[in-house]
Amino acid sequence: MSVARTTLADQVAAGLINEIERRGLRVGDEIPPEAEIAKQFGVNRLAVREAIRTLSAREILVSSQGKPARVSTPSARVLAQMLDFRIRQHSLDLDDILDTRRVVECELARLAAARVAKGEADMTRASALLEQMSDAVADMERFVELDVQFHAVIADTAGARLLQLILASLETVLLRARQSTFAERERRGEGHEATLAAHRSILRAIQDGEVENAGRAMENHLKETRRDVGPRD
């Protein structure tokens, strides 16, 4: 049985996370100075600095020269970088990403419809974005940007923060997939009306508060776009 090996800096980083929790530090709060941390953990300041760099890379801390590091909130960017790298090194399959997207976005569509049905949210922003998409069919960059925003509004309307974070972390990979589907439709000379129609179906179901229909409309849309994804990186 193998035992995972950790460096001294890794141990200090783990200890600092526990210390942040123990002290109840919030975003923007400063952690103790390096000298105090070194004394507390019985290590040299070099190990402390390395631990702070590690946590800063994970966006758990924000550090600036000459000032104590402060507590931060990790964004989706950290997970996005890892997923993108895994795809590029072929240690994670794009199909896994697309399957995850389907599970996440279908549930977000259902949750958004449920909140709209209760009068807790509306889809005004999504309607405006869809109109802008209709006017941007000749501009791939703009069309894809609006597409991303449309799906982000649904996620925001759903109010499920963890699912939102997961979806946001997939965006780097999904951006290439969206560009691929746009290009493939152009290659076939099909235009983008089918995509717009699919978005309208999703929007209509959510606006009407039809929970299951919203999920089905999203799933149908994602199944259709999946076939247009080009060659894997």
214 occurs within a structural domain = yes
**200 within a domain of the structure (yes/no):** yes
121 and 38 in a common domain: no
Same domain, 95 and 66: no
Same domain as 133, residue 117: yes
State the total domains in the chain: 2
Q: Are residues 108 and 181 in the same domain?
A: yes
Last residue of a domain, one of 71, 90, 111: 71
83 in the same domain as 142: yes
Look at residue 68 in the predicted model and tell me its pLDDT: 87
Q: What is the pTM of this model?
A: 0.83
Determine the structural domain holding residue 43 and report its residue range: 8-71
| CATH label of the domain that carries residue 44 | 1.10.10.10
DSSP string of the chain, one letter each residue: -------HHHHHHHHHHHHHHHHT--TTPBPPPHHHHHHHHT--HHHHHHHHHHHHHTTSEEEETTEEEEE----HHHHHHHHHHHHHTTSS-HHHHHHHHHHHHHHHHHHHHHHHHTTS---HHHHHHHHHHHTTTT-HHHHHHHHHHHHHHHHHHHT-HHHHHHHHHHHHHHHHHHHHHHHHHHHHT--SHHHHHHHHHHHHHHHTT-HHHHHHHHHHHHHHHHTT--S--
Render pLDDT for 55-114 as a digit per residue (tens, 0 to 9).
999 999 999 887 889 999 999 999 999 898 998 898 888 889 999 999 999 999 999 999
Percent of the chain at pLDDT exceeding 90: 73
112 with 217, same domain: the answer is yes
- Please indicate, yes or no, whether residues 147 and 58 belong to a single structural domain of this protein: no
Tell me whether residue 61 is in a domain: yes
Q: What is the pLDDT of residue 161?
A: 94
**CATH number of the domain that 198 lies in?**
1.20.120.530
Q: 94 and 158: one domain?
A: yes
**Ranges of residues in the chain whose predicted pLDDT is under 70:** 1-5, 230-233
- The verdict on 47 and 124 lying in the same domain is no
Q: Are residues 64 and 87 in the same domain?
A: no
